[in-house]
Amino acid sequence: MTNLWKLATFILLPLLAARVVGNNTPTVRPDGKYEICSEGIRGYFIPYGASISNLFIQDIHGEERDIVLGFDNATTYSSSRLHPHLNGVPGRYANRIKNGTFEIDGVTYHTDLNDNGGLDTLHGGKNGWDYRNWTVVAHTSDSITFSLADEDGEMGFPGQVVSYVTYTLTPYQWHIRMTAFATTKKTPIMLSSHTYWNLDGFQNPATPLALDHTLHLPYAGFRPDVDNILIPTGDILSNKKYSVNDWWTAPKAIGANFSAAELGGNCGWNCTGYDVSDYLVLLVPSLSSNPIHAIPHMNCYIFNRNHAESLNWDAAPVATLASPWSGIQVDIYTEQEAVQIYTCNNMNGTLPLKSTQGFFTSPDDSSPGRPRTTPKYGCVVIEVEDWIDGINHPEWGRQDRQVFGPGTAPYVLEARYEFSVRGEKR
Protein backbone atom coordinates (compact mmCIF):
# COMPACT_ATOMS: atom_id res chain seq x y z
CA MET A 1 0.00 0.00 0.00
CA THR A 2 2.79 2.43 0.90
CA ASN A 3 4.59 1.97 -2.39
CA LEU A 4 1.33 2.32 -4.28
CA TRP A 5 0.56 5.71 -2.72
CA LYS A 6 4.12 6.90 -3.33
CA LEU A 7 3.84 5.80 -6.94
CA ALA A 8 0.60 7.75 -7.31
CA THR A 9 2.16 10.77 -5.65
CA PHE A 10 5.47 11.03 -7.40
CA ILE A 11 4.85 9.39 -10.78
CA LEU A 12 1.24 8.98 -11.88
CA LEU A 13 -0.16 12.37 -10.91
CA PRO A 14 2.76 14.42 -12.29
CA LEU A 15 2.68 12.41 -15.54
CA LEU A 16 -1.04 12.98 -15.87
CA ALA A 17 -0.56 16.67 -15.13
CA ALA A 18 2.19 16.94 -17.74
CA ARG A 19 -0.03 15.32 -20.35
CA VAL A 20 -2.92 17.65 -19.59
CA VAL A 21 -0.66 20.72 -19.67
CA GLY A 22 0.82 19.56 -22.94
CA ASN A 23 -2.61 19.34 -24.56
CA ASN A 24 -3.95 22.56 -23.02
CA THR A 25 -1.16 25.08 -22.64
CA PRO A 26 -1.89 27.25 -19.58
CA THR A 27 -2.48 30.87 -20.32
CA VAL A 28 -1.89 33.38 -17.56
CA ARG A 29 -3.90 36.57 -17.56
CA PRO A 30 -2.01 39.90 -17.44
CA ASP A 31 -2.92 40.17 -13.75
CA GLY A 32 -1.16 36.85 -13.05
CA LYS A 33 -4.36 34.81 -12.63
CA TYR A 34 -5.42 31.53 -14.28
CA GLU A 35 -8.96 31.46 -15.67
CA ILE A 36 -11.29 28.47 -15.90
CA CYS A 37 -14.96 28.50 -16.82
CA SER A 38 -18.12 26.55 -17.59
CA GLU A 39 -21.74 27.39 -18.31
CA GLY A 40 -22.96 30.07 -15.89
CA ILE A 41 -19.71 30.26 -13.91
CA ARG A 42 -16.11 31.40 -14.31
CA GLY A 43 -13.27 31.78 -11.85
CA TYR A 44 -9.72 33.08 -11.55
CA PHE A 45 -7.12 31.21 -9.49
CA ILE A 46 -3.54 31.93 -8.38
CA PRO A 47 -0.62 29.76 -7.21
CA TYR A 48 -0.27 31.74 -3.95
CA GLY A 49 -2.07 29.60 -1.40
CA ALA A 50 -3.75 27.65 -4.25
CA SER A 51 -6.33 30.42 -3.93
CA ILE A 52 -9.45 31.46 -5.77
CA SER A 53 -9.33 35.20 -6.44
CA ASN A 54 -12.51 35.85 -8.45
CA LEU A 55 -15.76 33.93 -8.94
CA PHE A 56 -18.38 35.31 -11.32
CA ILE A 57 -22.05 34.29 -11.15
CA GLN A 58 -25.03 35.94 -12.88
CA ASP A 59 -27.68 37.21 -10.45
CA ILE A 60 -31.44 37.77 -10.58
CA HIS A 61 -30.93 41.20 -12.15
CA GLY A 62 -29.08 39.64 -15.09
CA GLU A 63 -25.75 41.09 -13.90
CA GLU A 64 -22.57 39.11 -13.35
CA ARG A 65 -21.29 39.52 -9.77
CA ASP A 66 -17.81 38.74 -8.43
CA ILE A 67 -18.82 37.10 -5.16
CA VAL A 68 -15.50 36.35 -3.41
CA LEU A 69 -13.00 38.76 -1.85
CA GLY A 70 -9.50 39.17 -3.21
CA PHE A 71 -6.97 41.47 -4.84
CA ASP A 72 -6.90 42.72 -8.44
CA ASN A 73 -3.34 41.53 -9.07
CA ALA A 74 -1.90 38.14 -8.17
CA THR A 75 1.35 39.65 -6.88
CA THR A 76 -0.50 41.61 -4.17
CA TYR A 77 -1.31 38.44 -2.23
CA SER A 78 2.31 37.79 -1.28
CA SER A 79 3.19 41.43 -0.62
CA SER A 80 0.15 42.79 1.25
CA ARG A 81 0.06 42.77 5.04
CA LEU A 82 -3.73 42.70 4.81
CA HIS A 83 -3.80 39.03 3.74
CA PRO A 84 -6.32 37.36 6.12
CA HIS A 85 -5.93 33.76 4.84
CA LEU A 86 -7.64 35.08 1.74
CA ASN A 87 -9.40 32.29 -0.19
CA GLY A 88 -6.46 29.87 0.05
CA VAL A 89 -5.84 26.39 1.44
CA PRO A 90 -4.76 26.57 5.10
CA GLY A 91 -2.49 23.73 6.14
CA ARG A 92 -0.99 21.46 6.95
CA TYR A 93 -3.53 21.68 9.77
CA ALA A 94 -6.41 24.13 9.36
CA ASN A 95 -7.82 26.08 12.30
CA ARG A 96 -6.33 26.01 15.81
CA ILE A 97 -4.05 23.64 17.73
CA LYS A 98 -4.14 24.18 21.48
CA ASN A 99 -0.77 25.38 22.83
CA GLY A 100 0.75 24.46 19.45
CA THR A 101 1.23 20.97 20.87
CA PHE A 102 0.09 17.45 19.98
CA GLU A 103 1.26 13.89 20.51
CA ILE A 104 1.59 10.97 18.08
CA ASP A 105 2.70 7.52 19.26
CA GLY A 106 4.09 8.94 22.50
CA VAL A 107 6.13 11.67 20.82
CA THR A 108 5.21 15.30 21.58
CA TYR A 109 5.48 17.87 18.80
CA HIS A 110 5.46 21.67 19.06
CA THR A 111 4.19 23.80 16.19
CA ASP A 112 4.61 27.49 15.43
CA LEU A 113 2.68 29.64 17.92
CA ASN A 114 1.30 32.33 15.60
CA ASP A 115 -2.10 33.09 17.18
CA ASN A 116 -3.46 34.82 20.29
CA GLY A 117 -0.09 36.22 21.26
CA GLY A 118 1.66 32.86 21.10
CA LEU A 119 -0.98 30.73 22.80
CA ASP A 120 -1.86 28.46 19.89
CA THR A 121 -1.18 27.55 16.25
CA LEU A 122 -3.59 28.85 13.60
CA HIS A 123 -3.83 27.45 10.05
CA GLY A 124 -0.45 25.72 10.21
CA GLY A 125 1.65 28.60 11.54
CA LYS A 126 3.07 31.79 10.08
CA ASN A 127 4.30 29.88 7.03
CA GLY A 128 1.15 27.86 6.55
CA TRP A 129 0.18 26.52 3.15
CA ASP A 130 -1.99 29.52 2.27
CA TYR A 131 1.13 31.73 2.53
CA ARG A 132 3.14 29.73 0.01
CA ASN A 133 3.38 29.60 -3.76
CA TRP A 134 2.06 26.31 -5.11
CA THR A 135 3.01 24.82 -8.48
CA VAL A 136 0.49 24.68 -11.32
CA VAL A 137 0.73 21.11 -12.61
CA ALA A 138 -2.40 21.06 -14.78
CA HIS A 139 -4.60 23.70 -16.38
CA THR A 140 -7.45 23.22 -18.86
CA SER A 141 -10.37 25.43 -19.85
CA ASP A 142 -12.46 24.19 -16.91
CA SER A 143 -9.97 22.83 -14.34
CA ILE A 144 -6.70 23.65 -12.60
CA THR A 145 -4.48 21.58 -10.28
CA PHE A 146 -1.88 22.90 -7.85
CA SER A 147 0.78 20.91 -5.96
CA LEU A 148 2.90 21.58 -2.87
CA ALA A 149 5.62 19.65 -1.03
CA ASP A 150 5.75 20.46 2.69
CA GLU A 151 9.00 19.22 4.19
CA ASP A 152 9.71 17.41 7.47
CA GLY A 153 9.93 19.83 10.40
CA GLU A 154 8.33 22.80 8.63
CA MET A 155 6.41 24.83 11.26
CA GLY A 156 7.17 21.98 13.68
CA PHE A 157 5.13 19.29 11.90
CA PRO A 158 6.69 15.83 11.45
CA GLY A 159 7.33 14.23 8.07
CA GLN A 160 7.05 15.29 4.47
CA VAL A 161 3.57 15.84 2.97
CA VAL A 162 2.88 16.14 -0.76
CA SER A 163 -0.48 17.67 -1.63
CA TYR A 164 -2.59 18.23 -4.74
CA VAL A 165 -5.57 20.58 -4.98
CA THR A 166 -7.86 20.45 -8.02
CA TYR A 167 -10.55 23.01 -8.80
CA THR A 168 -13.05 22.12 -11.55
CA LEU A 169 -15.99 24.10 -12.91
CA THR A 170 -19.04 22.41 -14.43
CA PRO A 171 -22.30 24.17 -15.32
CA TYR A 172 -23.21 26.35 -12.32
CA GLN A 173 -20.93 24.32 -10.00
CA TRP A 174 -17.48 24.58 -8.42
CA HIS A 175 -15.84 21.29 -7.40
CA ILE A 176 -12.91 20.97 -4.99
CA ARG A 177 -10.74 17.92 -4.40
CA MET A 178 -7.76 18.05 -2.05
CA THR A 179 -5.40 15.10 -1.60
CA ALA A 180 -2.39 14.95 0.72
CA PHE A 181 0.14 12.12 1.07
CA ALA A 182 2.20 11.72 4.26
CA THR A 183 5.29 10.13 2.73
CA THR A 184 7.77 9.64 5.60
CA LYS A 185 6.17 9.94 9.08
CA LYS A 186 2.81 10.03 10.79
CA THR A 187 1.52 13.59 10.89
CA PRO A 188 -1.73 15.51 11.38
CA ILE A 189 -3.37 16.76 8.19
CA MET A 190 -6.54 18.82 7.98
CA LEU A 191 -7.22 21.15 5.05
CA SER A 192 -10.00 23.50 3.98
CA SER A 193 -10.96 26.24 1.55
CA HIS A 194 -10.90 29.60 3.36
CA THR A 195 -13.11 31.51 0.90
CA TYR A 196 -14.65 34.88 1.80
CA TRP A 197 -18.14 35.37 0.34
CA ASN A 198 -20.30 38.40 -0.38
CA LEU A 199 -23.03 37.20 -2.72
CA ASP A 200 -23.86 40.77 -3.77
CA GLY A 201 -20.32 41.57 -4.87
CA PHE A 202 -20.65 44.61 -2.56
CA GLN A 203 -23.12 46.07 -5.10
CA ASN A 204 -26.33 45.97 -3.06
CA PRO A 205 -27.43 49.65 -3.00
CA ALA A 206 -28.88 49.24 0.49
CA THR A 207 -25.87 47.78 2.27
CA PRO A 208 -22.31 46.53 1.71
CA LEU A 209 -22.74 44.05 4.58
CA ALA A 210 -23.52 40.35 4.42
CA LEU A 211 -25.78 40.41 7.49
CA ASP A 212 -28.90 40.03 5.32
CA HIS A 213 -27.52 36.86 3.73
CA THR A 214 -29.42 33.84 5.00
CA LEU A 215 -27.61 30.77 6.27
CA HIS A 216 -28.99 27.28 6.74
CA LEU A 217 -27.04 24.43 8.35
CA PRO A 218 -29.60 21.62 8.42
CA TYR A 219 -27.46 19.19 10.45
CA ALA A 220 -26.13 21.65 13.03
CA GLY A 221 -27.71 20.20 16.15
CA PHE A 222 -24.65 20.30 18.41
CA ARG A 223 -21.45 22.19 19.01
CA PRO A 224 -18.28 21.66 21.08
CA ASP A 225 -17.53 24.07 23.90
CA VAL A 226 -14.63 26.49 23.40
CA ASP A 227 -12.76 28.85 25.70
CA ASN A 228 -12.48 32.59 25.14
CA ILE A 229 -9.83 32.18 22.43
CA LEU A 230 -11.87 29.57 20.53
CA ILE A 231 -9.98 26.46 21.66
CA PRO A 232 -12.27 23.44 22.21
CA THR A 233 -12.53 22.26 25.82
CA GLY A 234 -13.74 18.78 24.84
CA ASP A 235 -17.33 19.21 26.06
CA ILE A 236 -20.29 18.96 23.69
CA LEU A 237 -23.30 21.31 23.75
CA SER A 238 -26.73 21.27 22.16
CA ASN A 239 -27.87 24.04 19.81
CA LYS A 240 -31.29 24.73 21.25
CA LYS A 241 -34.17 25.54 18.95
CA TYR A 242 -34.54 29.30 18.33
CA SER A 243 -31.24 30.10 20.09
CA VAL A 244 -28.56 32.26 18.43
CA ASN A 245 -26.75 29.07 17.42
CA ASP A 246 -29.83 27.50 15.83
CA TRP A 247 -29.12 27.37 12.10
CA TRP A 248 -30.68 23.95 11.64
CA THR A 249 -34.44 24.53 11.91
CA ALA A 250 -34.71 26.99 8.99
CA PRO A 251 -32.68 29.55 7.01
CA LYS A 252 -31.95 32.65 9.07
CA ALA A 253 -30.37 36.02 8.29
CA ILE A 254 -26.81 36.13 9.61
CA GLY A 255 -27.56 39.39 11.41
CA ALA A 256 -30.89 38.25 12.82
CA ASN A 257 -29.62 37.78 16.39
CA PHE A 258 -26.95 40.46 16.56
CA SER A 259 -28.93 42.43 19.14
CA ALA A 260 -29.39 39.39 21.37
CA ALA A 261 -27.43 39.45 24.63
CA GLU A 262 -26.79 35.73 24.11
CA LEU A 263 -24.58 36.49 21.09
CA GLY A 264 -22.08 38.54 23.12
CA GLY A 265 -18.86 36.53 23.38
CA ASN A 266 -20.19 33.90 20.99
CA CYS A 267 -17.08 34.19 18.79
CA GLY A 268 -14.60 34.61 21.64
CA TRP A 269 -13.81 37.15 24.31
CA ASN A 270 -15.39 40.58 23.69
CA CYS A 271 -16.66 39.47 20.26
CA THR A 272 -20.17 39.58 18.81
CA GLY A 273 -20.79 37.35 15.82
CA TYR A 274 -19.79 33.89 14.70
CA ASP A 275 -16.48 32.09 14.31
CA VAL A 276 -17.85 28.63 14.76
CA SER A 277 -17.15 25.12 13.53
CA ASP A 278 -20.31 23.22 12.66
CA TYR A 279 -19.51 19.56 13.03
CA LEU A 280 -21.03 16.91 10.79
CA VAL A 281 -20.73 14.09 13.27
CA LEU A 282 -21.32 10.39 13.13
CA LEU A 283 -22.26 10.07 16.79
CA VAL A 284 -19.47 7.88 18.13
CA PRO A 285 -20.13 6.02 21.39
CA SER A 286 -17.65 8.10 23.38
CA LEU A 287 -19.70 11.21 22.57
CA SER A 288 -23.27 10.00 22.31
CA SER A 289 -23.05 8.23 25.67
CA ASN A 290 -22.02 11.45 27.45
CA PRO A 291 -24.61 13.95 28.65
CA ILE A 292 -24.81 17.38 27.05
CA HIS A 293 -23.52 19.74 29.70
CA ALA A 294 -25.04 23.15 30.39
CA ILE A 295 -21.90 25.16 29.65
CA PRO A 296 -21.62 28.77 28.41
CA HIS A 297 -21.45 29.42 24.67
CA MET A 298 -18.61 28.26 22.46
CA ASN A 299 -17.94 28.57 18.79
CA CYS A 300 -18.36 25.17 17.19
CA TYR A 301 -21.48 23.34 15.98
CA ILE A 302 -21.65 19.55 15.73
CA PHE A 303 -23.81 18.21 12.92
CA ASN A 304 -25.85 15.09 13.56
CA ARG A 305 -25.58 13.57 10.08
CA ASN A 306 -26.07 9.83 10.29
CA HIS A 307 -23.83 7.20 8.70
CA ALA A 308 -25.94 6.75 5.56
CA GLU A 309 -26.20 10.53 5.03
CA SER A 310 -22.43 10.90 5.39
CA LEU A 311 -21.75 8.14 2.87
CA ASN A 312 -24.21 9.73 0.45
CA TRP A 313 -22.81 13.20 1.09
CA ASP A 314 -23.46 14.58 -2.39
CA ALA A 315 -27.23 14.08 -2.06
CA ALA A 316 -27.96 16.91 0.37
CA PRO A 317 -26.16 20.18 1.20
CA VAL A 318 -24.61 20.75 4.62
CA ALA A 319 -24.78 24.54 4.21
CA THR A 320 -26.81 27.00 2.14
CA LEU A 321 -25.94 30.70 1.86
CA ALA A 322 -28.27 33.03 -0.04
CA SER A 323 -28.65 36.75 -0.73
CA PRO A 324 -32.17 38.21 -0.87
CA TRP A 325 -30.93 41.11 -3.03
CA SER A 326 -28.86 39.38 -5.74
CA GLY A 327 -30.83 36.16 -5.49
CA ILE A 328 -27.59 34.19 -5.68
CA GLN A 329 -27.63 31.03 -3.61
CA VAL A 330 -24.83 28.56 -2.99
CA ASP A 331 -25.50 25.04 -1.69
CA ILE A 332 -22.42 23.35 -0.26
CA TYR A 333 -21.98 19.57 -0.31
CA THR A 334 -19.04 17.78 1.34
CA GLU A 335 -17.90 14.51 2.90
CA GLN A 336 -16.13 16.50 5.63
CA GLU A 337 -17.69 16.50 9.08
CA ALA A 338 -17.35 20.14 10.08
CA VAL A 339 -18.04 23.59 8.68
CA GLN A 340 -16.40 26.64 10.18
CA ILE A 341 -18.47 29.84 9.97
CA TYR A 342 -16.83 33.26 10.31
CA THR A 343 -18.81 36.50 9.87
CA CYS A 344 -15.81 38.78 9.21
CA ASN A 345 -15.95 40.30 12.70
CA ASN A 346 -12.30 41.37 12.42
CA MET A 347 -12.58 43.27 9.14
CA ASN A 348 -11.88 46.94 9.83
CA GLY A 349 -12.27 48.72 6.50
CA THR A 350 -8.66 48.38 5.32
CA LEU A 351 -8.92 45.43 2.89
CA PRO A 352 -9.59 46.95 -0.56
CA LEU A 353 -12.34 45.77 -2.88
CA LYS A 354 -11.45 44.58 -6.36
CA SER A 355 -12.24 46.68 -9.42
CA THR A 356 -14.98 44.11 -10.21
CA GLN A 357 -16.81 44.86 -6.96
CA GLY A 358 -18.61 47.68 -5.19
CA PHE A 359 -19.38 51.18 -6.43
CA PHE A 360 -17.07 53.90 -7.70
CA THR A 361 -19.73 56.52 -6.93
CA SER A 362 -22.68 56.39 -4.55
CA PRO A 363 -25.32 53.75 -5.38
CA ASP A 364 -27.81 56.45 -6.38
CA ASP A 365 -25.31 59.17 -7.46
CA SER A 366 -26.80 61.55 -4.89
CA SER A 367 -24.30 61.24 -2.06
CA PRO A 368 -20.60 60.54 -1.49
CA GLY A 369 -19.55 57.08 -2.58
CA ARG A 370 -18.96 54.24 -0.15
CA PRO A 371 -15.44 53.41 0.93
CA ARG A 372 -13.99 50.86 -1.48
CA THR A 373 -12.95 48.55 1.32
CA THR A 374 -14.39 45.56 3.17
CA PRO A 375 -16.32 46.60 6.28
CA LYS A 376 -16.87 44.64 9.46
CA TYR A 377 -19.52 41.97 8.75
CA GLY A 378 -19.07 42.57 5.02
CA CYS A 379 -18.42 38.92 4.24
CA VAL A 380 -18.89 35.33 5.39
CA VAL A 381 -16.36 32.47 5.45
CA ILE A 382 -17.58 28.86 5.26
CA GLU A 383 -14.76 26.34 5.76
CA VAL A 384 -15.51 22.66 5.22
CA GLU A 385 -13.14 20.58 7.35
CA ASP A 386 -12.94 18.01 10.15
CA TRP A 387 -13.29 18.73 13.88
CA ILE A 388 -10.95 21.52 14.96
CA ASP A 389 -8.13 20.50 17.30
CA GLY A 390 -9.35 16.92 17.08
CA ILE A 391 -5.76 15.70 17.40
CA ASN A 392 -5.83 16.87 21.03
CA HIS A 393 -9.14 15.20 21.86
CA PRO A 394 -8.80 11.42 21.50
CA GLU A 395 -12.21 11.03 23.17
CA TRP A 396 -13.73 12.38 19.94
CA GLY A 397 -12.30 9.53 17.88
CA ARG A 398 -10.96 11.74 15.06
CA GLN A 399 -7.46 10.22 14.70
CA ASP A 400 -8.34 8.18 11.61
CA ARG A 401 -9.57 11.38 9.94
CA GLN A 402 -6.69 13.59 11.05
CA VAL A 403 -3.49 11.53 11.42
CA PHE A 404 -1.87 10.03 8.31
CA GLY A 405 1.36 8.22 7.53
CA PRO A 406 3.24 6.22 4.89
CA GLY A 407 1.11 3.14 5.57
CA THR A 408 -2.28 4.83 5.45
CA ALA A 409 -4.61 6.02 2.74
CA PRO A 410 -4.08 9.69 1.83
CA TYR A 411 -5.99 12.59 3.29
CA VAL A 412 -8.88 13.55 0.99
CA LEU A 413 -11.33 16.45 1.00
CA GLU A 414 -14.16 16.73 -1.49
CA ALA A 415 -16.69 19.52 -1.81
CA ARG A 416 -19.17 20.82 -4.35
CA TYR A 417 -20.58 24.35 -4.50
CA GLU A 418 -23.81 24.51 -6.48
CA PHE A 419 -25.08 27.95 -7.55
CA SER A 420 -28.63 28.98 -8.35
CA VAL A 421 -30.86 32.05 -8.35
CA ARG A 422 -33.50 32.01 -5.62
CA GLY A 423 -32.92 28.28 -5.37
CA GLU A 424 -33.99 27.57 -8.94
CA LYS A 425 -31.60 25.14 -10.63
CA ARG A 426 -30.47 26.11 -14.11
| Catalytic site positions | 194, 383
Short-list 321, 319, 364, 357, CA closest to 337:
319
List, in sequence order, every residue forming a beta bridge with 341; answer none if it has no partner: 276, 382
Q: H or E segment at 307?
A: helix 307-311
Cα 110 to Cα 112: distance, rounded to the nearest angstrom = 7
Residue type, 98: K
Cα dist from 87 to 131, 241, 267, whole Å: 11, 32, 21
Pairwise CA distance, residues 303 & 338, whole Å: 7
Q: Kindly report the length of the chain.
A: 426
| Residue 389 burial by Cβ neighbours in a 10 Å radius (0-12, 13-18, 19+) | buried
- Phi and psi at 10, nearest 5°, equal -95, -15
- Distance in angstroms (rounded) separating the CA atoms of residues 232 and 360: 43
46 and 74 in contact (C-beta within 8 Å)?
yes
Whether 192 contacts 90, CB under 8 Å: yes
Closest CA to 234 of 152, 173, 315, 293: 293
HSE-up of residue 255 (Cα within 13 Å, Cβ side): 13
Q: 247 CB contacts (<8 Å, ≥6 apart)? A: 215, 216, 217, 220, 239, 278, 301
